Copies of this chain bind each other. A is one copy, B any other.
Amino acid sequence: MSIQSEEAFLSLIDEHFATDSAALELGRGDDCAVLSQGGPFCVSSDLFLEDIHFRRSYFSPQDIGYKALAVNVSDIAAMGGRPLAFTMDLMIPSGLDRSFWEKFFSGMAALARQNDMPLAGGDLSRSDKLGVSISIWGTPGPSGRFIPRTGGNPGDVLFVCGEPGLARAGLSLLEKDGIKAAETFPQAVQAHLRPKPKTMVANLLSAAGTSSLMDVSDGLARDLPRLLGSKPGADLTVSPDMIHDEVIRFAEQTDVTAEDVFMVGGEDYALLGTAAPEAFKSKILTIPGVRALGRINDSGTITVNGTPFTLNGFDHFDA
């Protein structure tokens, strides 16, 4: 049974997303939601579109709902923030039945509950293809501050937390073999379908004095220059022991090196950050999953294992 009316959609949404929350002075159903908030907040917005960002052939409805929200939560995490609430604009093609939407909302609602984050509002429209646009906002984490991308200084240690290249390997394998790729590359496939926002780790990094932080969504090669700012310079050391086993196995099947997959990546949702050497050694390195990538400098050049690096990362914008 497909869902014919806007009202039916709205009540299904009400079933999955609580309408009462301390963060919401006025919930869904009015022209706007009203949020109680006594200080600065951060906002972000992302698209999640069928056949651009996901395929229905290998994403389950739960995966689609989950990931549409997860990529936004990751943006809040990368600010060292705590998610406060989100809005969802939903583009609804015909032919998706109620069971699809049940699963879609349950995948999304589980992540929302996990982050104690109400759905504050949104919009529904029919559309040719399924699409989601989510806006999310957050408050500063326990450290009381937001961490910008561009706080690093020459001499700072560059570090990563997460598995660069793993989701890209998953995407390539899913595109080639469909969901049965999960049999041989379970973690790569999972990294693409169900990226885990690193909210907790990011809060620890913030408290430990990270000087800059961002989430790697377009791959290290594209996102690292964004972190480094106007005169990007860094010397990176990428060794096989830093690269996920499945990335290494994936690279063996292709004509690219594991280091290139690691650097080019895409949709990694790893955290990339910098810290002063003392803070890195004494505090940051003790945080689970953190690995040093190298040092930043003001040379204007990024090198990987001593060689200037030039590849372009994964770009949703490319045709």
Contact = CB atoms under 8 A, between A and B. Distances in A.
Nearest to A52: B125
Contact of A30 (B25, B36, B123, B148): B148
Contacts of A127: 49, 52, 131
A7 to B, nearest CB: 9
Contact of A36 (B5, B40, B47, B316): B40
A79 to B, nearest CB: 5
A63 interface: no
Interface residues of A, number: 66
A177 interface: no
Given A38-B39, A148-B26, A45 B126 contact: no
A37 interface: yes
Interface string A92-125: 0010000000000000000000000000111111
A43 B319 CA distance: 33
Interface of A: 5-6, 9, 25-26, 29-47, 49, 52-53, 74-76, 78-79, 81, 85, 87-89, 91, 94, 120-129, 131, 133, 135-138, 146, 148-150, 214-215, 226, 315-317, 319
* 10 cross-chain pairs, A with B, having the tightest CB-CB distances, nearest first: A133-B133, A135-B135, A32-B42, A45-B87, A31-B78, A32-B44, A6-B317, A31-B75, A89-B133, A47-B125
